[in-house]
Amino acid sequence: MITAEIKGISLEFETNDKVFSPASIDLGTLSMLSQIDFKSTDKVLDLGCGYGIVGILASKLIGAKNVTMCDISDDAILLSKINADKNDIDNLKIIQSNGLENISDNDFTLILSNPPYHVDFTVPKHFIEASFKKLVIGGKMVMVTKRKDWYKNKLTSIFGGVKVIEINGYYVFIAEKRSSYIPKKQKVTNYLSKKIQRKQRK
C-alpha cells in the first residue's frame, strides 16, 4: 500500500509487482504532474495508467466524468478499479486497451503518459501518433521520459513543436495540437521517403 499527497490531495494506492513502480510513486510521474494545472474544463486521458495515479488524482481535482484511464495490463486495470474505490471515486472510465485502440472519444484536451522506457520506440510512436488524432485543437499531449532526442523529434514532427522541461533527471514534453493536420513538412518527408523506398524496390 502506498500513501501520498499530490497537489494537496491525500491518496492511497494498492499495487503489486506486476505493475510499474509498485513500491513508491515514480519520480517521473510526479515530475510530469508538477507541470500540469488541471482545469474544470479539461477532458483527460491517462494513457498507460498503471495502478491509477494520474487518472485518480485528476478525478479528485476535476471530477471522474472528465477522466478516462487506459492500460493494456490486466493487473493495471484491476488495480486502477480497486484504487478508484479506495479513493472514493465513482463512475471513473477505466478501459483495457492496447494503446489507444479501444479509446473512441476524440475530444480530449489533455493526454498524459509516462511510456515504457525499456522497449523499442514502437509503443511511444503509436502513443504520439494516435494521441494527436484524439486531441481537440488546443489540446496538449504531455509525456515524461528519461530520453530526450527521439521524443523531442517525434513530437515535433507530429505536433509541429514541443516544449521540453528538464526536471529531477527527467524530460517532460508538452506538445499542443494547433491544427487537425500533421505539419506539411512531415507529410512531404513521408512522401519523399515512400518515393525513395519505391525506387529502391525496382
Q: For position 191, what pLDDT does the model report?
A: 45
- Average the pLDDT over 165-188 and give the result: 86
Q: For position 183, what pLDDT does the model report?
A: 82
Checking if the pLDDT of 188 tops 60, the result is no
Percentage with pLDDT > 90 across the chain: 85
Percentage with pLDDT > 70 across the chain: 91
Q: For position 201, what pLDDT does the model report?
A: 52
What tens digit of pLDDT does each residue of 39-84 get?
A: 999 999 999 999 999 999 999 999 999 999 999 999 999 999 999 9
Split at pLDDT 50, 70, 90, the class of 6 is very high
Report which of residues 202 and 108 the model is more confident about. Answer: 108
For CA atoms 138, 170, 67, 111, the dihedral sign is: positive
- Average the pLDDT over 147-153 and give the result: 96
What tens digit of pLDDT does each residue of 9-49 get?
A: 999 999 999 999 989 999 999 999 999 999 999 999 999 99
Checking if the pLDDT of 8 tops 60, the result is yes
Which three-class secondary structure string do you get for the chain? CEEEEECCEEEEECCCCCCCCCCCCCHHHHHHHHCCCCCCCCCEEEECCCCCHHHHHHHHHHCHHHEEEEECCHHHHHHHHHHHHHCCCCCCEEEECCCCCCCCCCCEEEEEECCCCCCCCHHHHHHHHHHHHHEEEEEEEEEEECCCHHHHHHHHHHHCCCEEEEECCEEEEEEECCCCCCCHHHHHHHHHHHHHHHHHHC
Dist CA 42 CA 48 (whole Å): 19
What tens digit of pLDDT does each residue of 119-138 get?
A: 789 999 999 999 999 999 99
Q: For position 202, what pLDDT does the model report?
A: 46
- Average pLDDT of every residue of the chain: 92
Residue ranges and CATH numbers for the domains of the chain are 2-201 (3.40.50.150)
Checking if the pLDDT of 155 tops 60, the result is yes
